[in-house]
Structure 1
């Protein structure tokens, strides 16, 4: 069966050929440039319509044809709604038949969000091949581990063959170095066949620096009223621009059958209208594909806007929770520089508030910028928050991309994993974390010339204020983002899983996820929002989540080197130290999960 839907942008196949729609309010004339297998390309002029739109019907032209768009007879550009760019951002687009891929109808409806265990995956570095096809070969491993949802880093076409994906410029076209669009659909289908949801990371707050020609013919995409750290801000007040991004979200969910979106940097989306863009996007998702199956939206939002989160129908809107990561990182590594300083004085107390109320900062002043941060979040369910010890940012934004296994002692890291995977918030693992992978995840890209030099120097200057890199010669050792070796060094060696100590880390992670699936997950929907509480002496932490039937989930954690007396739980489900059920002493760096009687 097919899942394609008509788009207002780009090429659409018809019985007569291919209809093209292109929005270029800054252009006087637009021509369709069709490549020919032999001889010169053919040109066909678009008809100018009201509102900056251009249209043309290319008769007899179908799937497989390649094309560009010529602006004012002076510049050839890719179609911003191209469905595939086999030669990259500066090459021609390829017309696709979205109905050619025949999905096997297995009546997949997704999964309820409380079952989610996320696995953040970068296609290019998950395997040595760096392709969708190679990743499929390891989906069984993830399912056996206890993963229930894969979160893919952005797939929109970006410059070059390697990159994180956050500098994409063609949002409808999957990155060609990972495979063809039908390969991506096979990946999603294979995941569904194993009970795995697949979410895609989308970037709607800026475009990348290379291959973006919108300023030439559609300056209305941008606004000078705001700025982002990555370039011009998007003008979400413009109805056509707004439609472009919302249709893109629905395109991924419908045509590729993704089970949800992770929306990058919502805090960098500026919209002073009555309905913020992100709220309209969420409403469109929930009233569209989300009305027929489980479709979830995860926000990255440094503003901690609790009002945007919660359950509507079968769809959850959740947020990546830095407020979980930061105090946990301090407890595991002792690092307290930069933004960690906001949590350094009372990290266990901050963690307790996060586990019971969602955000650690709910309107209090954040010392890093001197502004109030966050909104009241205590009334939200724990599933409105995605917790993690590591992600692509927290690893990759370190100068040398070190993982926690290199920064924290094993006994502390075991505690961190237990709190992450045995708390009712939605946990996320970064690829390789499950077995203590040693490969770094470095910042890498594939630019040339002056832009490559600027990024290399900017990356090294960024760390000049850090004591370890105050010396210029030391900064020169920071890997060059554009070097292929930087990318290759970030690729996982999945064979490590069979060797010690990785085999033991993998078994431990699998054990924690088994306890989560069998004991914890069925009770997560029964947690009473707003009723959780915690106690701490600054070293130990006891968190209680009351259930609707009068019982309660209980987590006890010791973040110190000395044993501590604790009340005996009702029914001990699990102890990472293998403590006996009658024990009233919590050992050093121990975590327990229990069910307290009513």
Structure 2
């Protein structure tokens, strides 16, 4: 692994606030409790929490050194004369060597050596970047490995200007921390502090963030704090006290957040990404599986408090994924001051049933009246739980407008809902073009924060599959699980009953076929799709976003209308947004509008302002009235 970087000396003129005079390099580093930290010029302190053993050694530059017990399960050692790029590992009493769980970089992946990295060497080119207000968010979900043919941070950076030109404001990266192998989604992380070696060095990732800020894009990172992956997990075998065997997640034993050292590992991980990599926010995966029942303060509450009190330069945005759509549960940090938004799977499932007719697996509860359920999500954000066991967990307020509509992130597809399908088909291959135009217009012109999956902006037809690089029993289990997941996401194709009838997710082809084919953007179809998205995001920025700041929580009103029709008025802070959509194959009558039309699908839809609208099949009108 090359650790070549832009070596820039640390500028001693840095002020207490962290800023330097114009043009001077800015140092960004976060002093972790775990792992290797510089404590002086070429002097490095190594720390590891390992309460289950009595002896620990450090192997550095080919030599084993005895580490010193420091109490409460910690081992420490300070080593002089350590240059950046020096390899090291920790050594157990039985002689087994393993990577630093808080490694900043790996040579050869999870089974290789950890590498000394001094974050002071990177020159930050956008030190004054202040990010975007959340109301301005238009999110683009990206997987670094498949976004470009090269699959690296540097290659991805070269295409960021196009996304900014389209009007996107936030890049949300799928997890990038080190996982086994050279290809994967990233949710089976083994080393949460190290950018994956296949994507580039830590400085390559910093250059990506810098490039995004330079063109006006914020960058959020998807992080996984509920489990480690099934392979390459060095903590499971070497630090068993890190886990609580009394609680089991779908992916293995629960993390023991009652241990102060374990809490520090994850809270500092969040701070590390935000501070050292200058990120604008984090999306925390599956918080409903973050089990912390015995702590006085839930781990997510403490994490959010520390993020908002300790990060510098600007406020960072924290987003959660909770499949129950709980946004305001204080036990999970879901207060307005903690997490700004959550993914709204209710809205997704209702929209998917409408767009595709598929009502199986996770979408089955939305088979009846999906249009009415989507209207409820658009007007109020949430809706009552579809699972009786979860009814008590989700508050009535969440389903009835206690949260601002910008607390909900809406999408028509994402990595899960495409990649977990049997063949990874995108929505463009499952829905009629006119209906997809209507659904996309609703997504981008509604008050909720919209998110699009990479390639969606130009109508990518290439599938996005689930892919990994496992071997042995884990590889076979991963393949077998594809059958289970496909049943939940769209169902199994006719005649498919065995895993081997689906593509092997461990085969290189699953990864290669998932890469974007950028040449499609330059075709007539791709150019037309690209232009539509730029037009819609521009209309959102001009007509919708100015009314989102300071708007009341309960702003949406569903109007009585024909079946398969959505008619909603949103009273924002200074304007009324009106949406009328006919999702049926027949002409219908819909409530009239009072504002001026900002968007119509198709272009021939007419609104004369004199009474009820006559909406042709598969059509939409959006209008604005300012106060």
Q: What is the TM-score when the length of structure 2 is the normalising length?
A: 0.90
Name the counterpart of 1:75. 96
Question: Which of 555, 570, 575 is matched with 1:545 structurally?
Answer: 570
> How far has the Cα of 1:310 moved from its partner?
5.5
Q: 1:177 and 1:214 mapped to 2: Cα distance?
A: 22
Judged with a 3 Å threshold, the aligned counterparts in structure 2 of structure 1 residues 533 and 464 are, in CA distance, closer, same or farther, namely closer
Tell me whether 220-229 or 8-17 shows the greater mean CA deviation. 8-17
More displaced stretch, 297-306 vs 120-129: 297-306
SS in 2 for 1:591: strand
Q: Name the residue aligned to 1:347.
A: 370
* 1:238 alignment partner, one of 254, 259, 267: 259
Aligned: 1:53 with 2:77 = no
Quote the residue 2:588 is aligned against: 564
Q: Does 1:585 align with 2:609?
A: no
1:574 correspondence with 2:599: yes
Which stretch shifts more, 479-488 or 99-108?
A: 99-108
What is the match of residue 85 of structure 2? 64
| Residue of structure 2 in register with 1:190 after alignment | 211
Q: Does 1:395 align with 2:415?
A: no
Of 375-384 and 454-463, the range deviating more from structure 2: 454-463
Q: Residue 528 of structure 1 contacts residue 545 of structure 1 at CA under 8 Å; is this kept in 2?
A: no
Distance 1:295 1:462, change over 3 A: closer
2:390 and 2:54 map into 1 onto residues whose CA distance is 48
Q: 1:274 aligns with which of 273, 286, 296?
A: 296
C-alpha deviation, 1:470, in angstroms: 4.8
Q: Does 1:501 align with 2:525?
A: yes
Question: Could you tell me whether the CA contact under 8 Å between 1:25 and 1:217 is conserved in 2?
Answer: no
Q: Aligned partners of 2:301 and 2:185: how far apart in 1?
A: 26
String of CA shifts for 1:48-67, please: whole Å, max 9, x gaps.
12111000011211211000
The 1-side partners of 2:355 and 2:467 are apart by 27
Q: Number of aligned residue pairs: give it.
A: 585
Q: Is residue 21 from structure 1 mapped to residue 44 from structure 2 by the alignment?
A: no
Instruction: Specify whether residues 20 and 597 from structure 1 end up closer, same or farther in structure 2 by C-alpha distance, changes over 3 A only.
Output: closer
Report deviation, 1:372: 4.7
Whole-Å separation in 1 of the counterparts to 2:76 and 2:63: 17
Q: Distance in 2 between matches of 1:396 and 1:105?
A: 35
Q: 2-side partners of 1:57 and 1:134: how far apart? A: 37
Distance 1:429 1:179 in 2: 25
Q: Does 1:514 align with 2:538?
A: yes
Q: Could you tell me which residue of structure 2 aligns to residue 209 of structure 1?
A: 230
Which secondary structure state, in structure 1, belongs to the residue aligned with residue 569 of structure 2?
A: strand
Indicate the residue corresponding to 2:63 in structure 1.
42
Output the CA distance in 1 between the equivalents of 2:583 and 2:474. Answer: 46
Q: CA RMSD in A?
A: 1.9
Aligned equivalent of 2:451: 428
Q: Name the structure 2 match of 1:38.
A: none
Aligned counterparts of 1:590 and 1:106: Cα–Cα separation in 2: 46
Structure 1 residue 581: deviation in Å? 4.4
Deviation at 1:567, TM superposition (A): 1.1
The separation in 1 between residues aligned to 2:487 and 2:147, in whole angstroms, is: 31
Residue deviations 1:490-528 (CA, integer Å, cap 9, x gap): 001111101132221111111111111111111111432
User: Any unmatched runs of 5+ in structure 2?
Assistant: 1-25
2:544 counterpart SS class: helix
1:461 Cα deviation from its structure 2 partner = 5.8
Q: 2: CA distance between counterparts of 1:163 and 1:3? A: 29
1:409 matches 2:432? yes
Q: CA deviation at 1:193?
A: 0.6
Q: Secondary structure at the match of 2:121?
A: coil
Distance 1:424 1:193 in 2: 27
Matched, 1:479 2:503: yes
SS across alignment from 1:468 = coil
CA distance in 1, matches of 2:105, 2:496: 45
Q: Which runs of 5+ in 1 are unaligned?
A: 36-40
Q: Which one of 458, 469, 485 corresponds to residue 446 of structure 1?
A: 469
Per the alignment, residue 325 of structure 1 pairs with 348
2:275 is aligned with 1:254: yes
Structure 2: distance between partners of 1:526 and 1:595: 18
Name 1:287's counterpart in structure 2: 309
Task: List per-residue Cα deviations over 1:386-440 (Å, max 9, x = no partner).
Answer: 0000000000111110000010010111111011101010000000011111111
Give the direction of change, closer, same or farther, for the CA distance of 1:174–1:167 in structure 2 (3 Å limit). same
Most deviating of 370-379 and 299-308: 370-379
Q: CA deviation at 1:593?
A: 1.5
* Contact 1:295 1:316 (8 Å CA) reproduced: no
Give the TM-score normalised by the residue count of structure 1: 0.94
State the secondary structure of the residue aligned to 1:442: coil
How far has the Cα of 1:472 moved from its partner? 4.2
CA distance in 2, matches of 1:285, 1:339: 33
Q: Residues 160-185 of structure 1, C-alpha deviation per residue, up to 9 Å, x if partnerless?
A: 00000000110110001001110100
The change in CA–CA distance for 1:395 and 1:463 in structure 2 (over 3 A counts) is closer
Q: Deviations over 1:275-317 (max 9, x none)?
A: 211111111111122x6413101100113223144643xx752
Q: Specify the alignment match of 1:33 in structure 2.
A: 59
Q: 1:528 to 1:83 in 2, by over 3 A?
A: same
Which stretch shifts more, 339-348 or 384-393?
A: 339-348
Name which of 152, 157, 163 aligns with 1:131. 152
Q: Distance in 2 between matches of 1:463 and 1:595?
A: 41
Displacement of 1:122: 0.2
Once the two structures are superposed, what CA deviation does each residue of 1:219-266 show, in whole Å capped at 9, x if it has no partner?
A: 121112211111111111211111110000000000000000000010
Give the equivalent residue in structure 2 for 1:374.
394
CA contact (8 A) 2:562 2:588 kept: no
CA distance in 2, matches of 1:103, 1:537: 56
Taking a change above 3 Å as real, the CA distance of residues 580 and 323 of structure 1, as seen in their structure-2 partners, is same
State which drifts further: 576-585 or 89-98: 576-585
Alpha-carbon separation, structure 1, partners of 2:216 and 2:616:
37
Distance 1:490 1:372 in 2: 40
Whether contact under 8 Å (1:387, 1:420) holds in the other structure is yes
